[in-house]
Chains A and B, each alone.
Chain A
Amino acid sequence: MRVKILPPHGCDRGALDERSWAELPAGSTVRDALRLVRCSPLKAKLLLVSVNGERASLESELREGDVVGFFFPVSGG
C-alpha cells in the first residue's frame, strides 16, 4: 500500500519518492513508517505524530493513502 510520510527534520527521506510517498506492506503501523525514515519513536511522540491530521499511537495501523505527519509550528493570518 502507498502511504505519504512527511517526516520532521533530521530524518532519512531516501525511501520516499519525490512526492514523499512510500510503499509499505499491508498491515504496517506508524512504527513501521517511522522505521522507514529513521525517525526515533521518542522524537515522533514529542512532535505529536499524526495520521491524516489526527494524533496517532505508534501501533496505529495504516491504510492505503494515509498521510503520516508531525507537528510543526506553521501559522499565518
Chain B
Amino acid sequence: MTSFMGKVLRVDLGAGTAESVEIPAQIYEAVLAGKGLEAWYLYNHIPAGADPLGPENILAFAAGALCGTGAFLTGRWSAACKSPLTGGWGDANCGGLFAPAIKQCGYDAIFISGIAEKPVYLFCDGKTAELHDASPYWGLDATEAEKALHRELDGVCRKKPCVACIGPAGEKLSLISGVCNEGGRIAARSGVGAVMGSKKLKAVVLAGARPLPCHDPDRVKALSRELGHKLLKMTLPTGLGVFIGAGGAMMGHLPNIPLDGAMTAYMFREWGTQANTSLAITSGDGPIRNWGGTPRDVRLMEAVYNPEHINRIETAKYHCYSCPLGCGGRLNIRGRKHVSFDETHKPEYETIEAFGPLLMNWSLDSIFQLNELLNRAGMDTISAGNTVAWAIECFDHGILTPAQTDGLYLTWGNTEAILKLVEKMIAREGFGDALADGVKRASERFGGKEYAMHIGGQEPGMHDARNDPQLGIHFVAEPAPGKHTVGMNIEYGAMSLCDICSWAPPARLHAKEKDFEDTEEMALISKANACYTMLVDGAGGCYYGQMMGVHTWKLVDWLNAAEGWDYDGDHYMEIGERIQTLRQLFNVKQGVDPRSFKLPKRMLGEPPLPHGPLKGVTLEQHRAQVSSHWRAFGWDDKTGVPLPETVKRLGIDKLTEAEP
C-alpha cells in the first residue's frame, strides 16, 4: 500500500460529465502527486496553442503524496493550468483543509476542462460527482459564497464540505485572480482564478469521507511526533519583534553563513510570515517605492510594521491540515481607520510589503482592509500591489493624469487613493478595469513600461534579486516566472540539502558578493533549490517545513515510510528534477520561449540604487547564471529547452506513453 488514491477525477464542463480515471503506479513513482501529477497530466492533455480562457485549457486541483498520512506540514493543495497571465505553465498553492478533502473523495487530483453554459459548481462526495447550478452564488465574494454553499449543503452531507471558489475577480476574468478557500485564503498566482471563471465554475465542493492510505502509519506518526514535540517548545521572549528591523539592518552587512533552518520555525510560530516585513525593509530584501526606493525613503517604517502590532490584535491562531506550526491567525480589526470589516486573516508578508513599503503607504490599518477586500474578491495581492505601484509611479512622472485615473491623485503613500483604486480594480470599473489584468497589460495600454515590474507577464514576489541574486535566477528560469518560493541563497544555507543529496554543494561562510558570480557551484545550488521545491510540491509540503531543513522536517524519511519505498535523497531529488523539466517542457510545447522571461532593468540594478543596503548593486552576471542553471538541469544553455538526452535520462518519454 502507498499513500496514493490511484485515481483522478476528470470533469468536462461542456459535456457535463465526470469520470474516474485510474493512474498507473509508475506515474506516482516518477512524479509523486500534487504539482508532479499536474505537470504530467497537463503536459500530455492541454493541446499546443490552447486558449488559456478557452475550453481546451484544463484546471487542475491536486493534493500531495503525503497529505493524509500523518506527516506534518503536508496539507497544501495546488491549482494548475495554462496561465492566461504568462501563456505558459501556471500554478498556485494554498493551505487549509481542501487538500485532504480531494483525497477523501477518492482522488489524488481533479482535472476540469470545457466551459459550462451557465454558472455551476462541482459537488463530489466520493460516491457521486455532479455539476449543480451556481447561479445563486455568482456575484458573491469568495467568503460569502463559501458560507452560502455551507448553508445550502447543511444536513445534506455527512461532513461539512470543503469549498474552493472564486470571487468577483475570477468571475470577471481578472488575469491576476486566484482560487479561495476557508474564508479568503487564496491560491493566488498565475491567474488560476480567471481560468476557473472562464469555465463558469464558481466552486468545487468536496464532502468525501474515505480513509486515507499510508504504508507505515506508525513510522510516519513517530516522525511527526518527534517534530511536534520540538515545535511545541519553540517560543521566543515576548516583545522581541521590535528588534527584527535592527536585525535586518545588521543582516544587510553580514556575510552569508550556513544556518540551522529549525530556527525559522520560531519566527513563524510567534508571528507568521508578517515578521518578515520589518526585516525586509531594513535588509534590502523587500522592495520599496516600486522597487526603485531604499530604506531611506521610508525611514522608520519598520516600526509601523513591527510584528508585535499585529500580534496584539490577533484573536486566534489557526493551522493548516496536519500542521502544528500555525502561522495563520484571525485579527480583530473592528473600528479601525479605513476598515469596514470586523475581522480579517492575519495579512501575509507579501501583502503587507506590496501595499506598504512598495507604495510608501504608512497605514497598517489600510492594509487590513486591502487584505480583506482582495481575499474576498479572490485577487492576488502580489500582482495587485505591483500594478498599483506602477500606476503611482506613472502618475508621478505624468504618464497618467487625473483624467485617466478617474480623478484619483495617485501619489506615493496616498492611502485613500490606493483603497479606491483597488476597489475599482476588483469591480473592473473605469481605470481599475485596465489594471485588473496586471501590470504588463496596463503598461502596454498606457505606457510607462519602464516602471512595469513583471517577468514574462507575472509580477514578482516581494523579495529583491539585488539582495539575493539567486531569486533573480528563479524569477526567470522558473516555468511560472516571478515566483519567489523556488529558492534563495539564505534559504539554501538553512536547509542542509548537502546532507541528503550527493551533488548539492555544502553551504559555506561566504561574502555576499560571491552570490553574484556565475559559477558551477551557484548553478548546482540553484538547481538543488528548484529540485527540492518541486519534490516538496509533489509531496504537498509547506514552504515553511522546507525552510526548517532536512534534519528537522524529514521529507525523505516520511516519503519512504508513507510509500513503502527505500529511496535515498538523490532519487527524490531526481523526482524534483523530473517535475521541473516537465513544467519547462509544457512551456516549450505551448510556444513560450524561456529566453523571453527577463528581469526588469530596475531589478538588474539599471540604474543602481544610490544608497542603502543595495547601494550600487548590479546583476551583471545574471544572464550567465541563468544559462548555467539551465545547463545544470540538462537543458540547452542558450535556449532553456530540455535536451533530448535529459528527457530520456529522466524517463519522461516513457511517461508520456503511459497516458490514461
Q: Which A residues fall within an 8 A CB radius of B?
A: 4, 6-9, 13, 18-20, 48, 50, 52-55, 67-77
Contact = CB atoms under 8 A, between A and B. Distances in A.
B263 A74 contact: yes
Contact of A67 (B348, B547, B551): B551
Interface in B212-256: 230, 233-234, 244, 247-248, 251, 254-255
A50 B262 contact: yes
A37 B298 CA distance: 39
Contact of B248 (A20, A71, A73): A73
A74 B254 contact: no
Contact of B257 (A9, A19, A53, A77): A9
B349 A6 contact: no
B508 A18 contact: yes
A53 B259 contact: no
Interface string B542-555: 01100110011000
B279 interface: yes
A71 B543 CA distance: 19
B490 interface: yes
A47 to B, nearest CB: 9
A72 to B, nearest CB: 5
Given A4-B496, A73-B244, A76-B547, A67 B262 contact: yes
A70 B263 contact: yes
B258 interface: yes
A77 B260 contact: no
B273 A69 contact: no
Contact of A20 (B251, B488, B506): B506
Given A19-B506, A67-B551, A74-B494, A9 B258 contact: no
A52 B230 contact: yes
Q: Give the residue among A19, A55, A73 with the most B Cβ atoms within 10 A.
A: A73
Contacts of A9: 254-255, 257
B350 A71 contact: no
Interface of B: 230, 233-234, 244, 247-248, 251, 254-255, 257-268, 272-276, 279, 348-350, 463, 484-485, 488, 490-491, 494, 496, 498-499, 506-509, 543-544, 547-548, 551-552
A18 B551 contact: no
A22 B417 CA distance: 58
Contacts, number: 104
Which of A13, A18, A53, A70 is most buried by chain B, counting CB atoms within 10 A of its CB? A53
Contacts of B263: 48, 50, 53, 69-72, 74
Contact of B349 (A20, A48, A77): A77
8 contacts: A4-B499, A54-B233, A54-B234, A73-B244, A73-B248, A75-B279, A76-B491, A77-B273
A9 B255 CA distance: 8
Nearest to B229: A54
A66 to B, nearest CB: 9
A13 B257 CA distance: 11
Nearest to B327: A77
A48 B551 CA distance: 18
A75 B263 CA distance: 9
Given A68-B260, A74-B267, A74-B547, 8 more contacts: A4-B496, A7-B257, A19-B496, A67-B552, A73-B267, A75-B273, A75-B349, A77-B274
Nearest to A8: B257
Contacts of A71: 263, 266
A73 B247 contact: yes
Contacts of B547: 74, 76
For the complex of A and B, list the 3 residue pairs with the smallest distance between their C-beta atoms, beginning with the closest: A69-B260, A77-B273, A53-B262
